[in-house]
Structure 1
Amino acid sequence: MAHGSLLSIMANVRTLRFHTDYGPVPLFEKAREKLKDLAGLSLGIPHAQARVEEREVPQHLLTDFQPEFWELVVVETSVSTGRISYMSLRRQLEFNEYLWIVLAHEHVITAWITERAGNRSTHPLIVKDGPAWDAAAAGQEPAINAAMAGWADAYFRRVRAHRVLAALAAAPDRQSGDRLAMAAHLVMEGRTWKEAALESGWRGKASLDAAIARLLRAVKRTAHLER
C-alpha cells in the first residue's frame, strides 16, 4: 500500500478505542497474535519518521521489532467492520523512560518517550461496555441495528468533543474558547450538540458547528506551519 493511500485511510476510518484494563480479552488476544507476525516496523511515513528523529527515538527498537518486549495497551477497531485498525504499545527503556508507538498494520504512525509509566486507562473515549464491546468480545462485526446506531452516535459525539478540547488546549487564547469548551464538556457528559449549543450560549447548533470548524482549521493550519 502506498504511503499516501495509508494516510488517507487513517484520516477517514472511524474507530472505537479499547484498553487492555477493560478488554474484551478476545480482542487483545487477536491483536497480540498479529504482533507476533511482525519482524520489523516500517518508518516510511514522513510524519512518523520526523517524529522519531526529533524525539530521538531509538530506531533500531522499531526496525528490529521484538513483540515480546512490548506491552499492548490500546487497540482501535473500525466501527463498521470490527477489524483492528491501530494499536498503541509501550516499552520500558533504561533510566525509567517509556517508549510509546502507534501502529497501523506494520507502519509506525507516531512515537514518543515519556518519564511516566501511566497507561492511559483514564482516556474518556475508552469503550468499556455496550454493543460494540459485546461484538468485540464475541469476535463479530458490530451489528447494524438501532441499539448500535444510537450507541455509535453518542460515542462519536464524544470523539468530536474530545477533538475540540484538544484543539483548545493547542489554541488557549481562541475567541469564544470558553463557550466552546463548555459545549464540549456538556457533550462529554451526555448532551447532544444541539442541547450543548443552547446551554453554552450559542444561537443554535449551526453557529456552534461553524465555530468548531474554524477552530479545527486554525489549529491544523498552525500545526502545518510549525513543521
Structure 2
Amino acid sequence: MPPRFETARFHVETGPGSLFTRVLHILSEPVRLKAHGAHVTERLRQRGAPLETLTRFDPEGWELVSAEARTDTGKWVKSTWRVRADGRDWWVVIGLGNSLVTVIDVDPRRRGRGEGIITEGSLYARVDAVNAELMRGA
C-alpha cells in the first residue's frame, strides 16, 4: 500500500531549527510507545529487538537524529531517535500519537546524514516557517 502522503527527511544537525524545536516540544516527556500493526511487530521480531526497552521512550536518554515532515503541509509526522539497548544501538522511529513505526539495529558510528536529507531550498524554508508558526501557537 503506497503512503498517504510524501515526506521529506531533515537531520537534527542541519535543521530547520523550528522543526526540531517542535519535535522536542511534542516529545518532551517519557512515554510508553504503542507498538501496534503488522509492520512494526514483524520488524521487532525479525531484528530481535528488546520490546520493553524500545517502547519506553525517554527524551533524557535518547538522542534525536532526524525528523520527517509532510511535503504538502510542512508538518512533522515522525522522528528517528537513537538509543542503546541490550548492547546495541537502535534507531527508533516514532510517529504521531506516540506510535512506534519501526526499529533499526544500527552501527554506533552511523549518523543518519545520507543523501536523502534536505538541507536547503524552498521545501526547507516552508517546513521552517510552518513549524515556527506552530510553535508560536503552542
Higher helix share: 1
The whole-number CA distance in structure 2 between the counterparts of 1:125 and 1:65 is 26
Q: From the CA coordinates, give the structure whose radius of gyration is larger.
A: 1
The whole-number CA distance in structure 1 between the counterparts of 2:131 and 2:54 is 31
Partner of residue 15, structure 1:
7
Residue number among 15, 18, 21 corresponding to 1:29 in the alignment: 21
User: TM-score scaled by structure 2?
Assistant: 0.83
Residue number among 105, 108, 116 corresponding to 2:100 in the alignment: 108
The whole-number CA distance in structure 1 between the counterparts of 2:127 and 2:8 is 10
The whole-number CA distance in structure 2 between the counterparts of 1:100 and 1:116 is 10
Residue number among 28, 31, 36 corresponding to 1:44 in the alignment: 36
Decide whether aligned partners of structure 1 residues 140 and 62 sit closer, same or farther in structure 2, where only a CA change above 3 A counts.
closer
The whole-number CA distance in structure 2 between the counterparts of 1:68 and 1:56 is 24
The whole-number CA distance in structure 2 between the counterparts of 1:55 and 1:140 is 34
Partner of residue 136, structure 2:
none
Contact 1:40 1:62 in 2 (8 A): no
The whole-number CA distance in structure 2 between the counterparts of 1:116 and 1:64 is 20
**Residue by residue, what CA displacement relative to the aligned partner does 1:35-87 show, whole Å, maximum 9, x if unpaired?**
12561101111210111122121111233221211111111101111111121
Contact 2:53 2:85 in 1 (8 A): no
Q: Any gaps of 5 or more consecutive residues in structure 1?
A: 1-7, 142-227
Higher strand share: 2
Partner of residue 131, structure 1:
122
Q: Which amino acid aligns with 1:104?
A: G
Q: Which amino acid aligns with 1:14?
A: E
Look up the SS of the partner of 1:26 in the other structure: helix
The whole-number CA distance in structure 1 between the counterparts of 2:43 and 2:76 is 24
Q: How does 1:157-176 map to 2 (within 5 A)?
A: none
User: TM-score scaled by structure 1?
Assistant: 0.53
Q: Any gaps of 5 or more consecutive residues in structure 2?
A: 133-138
Q: CA deviation at 1:140?
A: 5.4
Contact 2:34 2:100 in 1 (8 A): yes
Look up the SS of the partner of 1:27 in the other structure: helix
Q: Do structure 1's residue 58 and structure 2's residue 50 form an aligned pair?
A: yes
Q: Do structure 1's residue 93 and structure 2's residue 85 form an aligned pair?
A: yes
Q: How does 1:183-194 map to 2 (within 5 A)?
A: none
Aligned-residue CA RMSD in angstroms?
A: 2.1
Look up the SS of the partner of 1:81 in the other structure: coil
The structure whose RCO (Cα within 8 Å, separation 6+) is larger is 2
- Large movers: runs of 4+ above 4 Å: none
The whole-number CA distance in structure 2 between the counterparts of 1:94 and 1:21 is 27
- Determine what percentage of the aligned residue pairs are the same residue: 25
Decide whether aligned partners of structure 1 residues 30 and 94 sit closer, same or farther in structure 2, where only a CA change above 3 A counts.
same
Look up the SS of the partner of 2:118 in the other structure: coil
Q: Which amino acid aligns with 1:132?
A: L
**Residue by residue, what CA displacement relative to the aligned partner does 1:181-211 show, whole Å, maximum 9, x if unpaired?**
xxxxxxxxxxxxxxxxxxxxxxxxxxxxxxx
Q: Which amino acid aligns with 2:122?
A: P
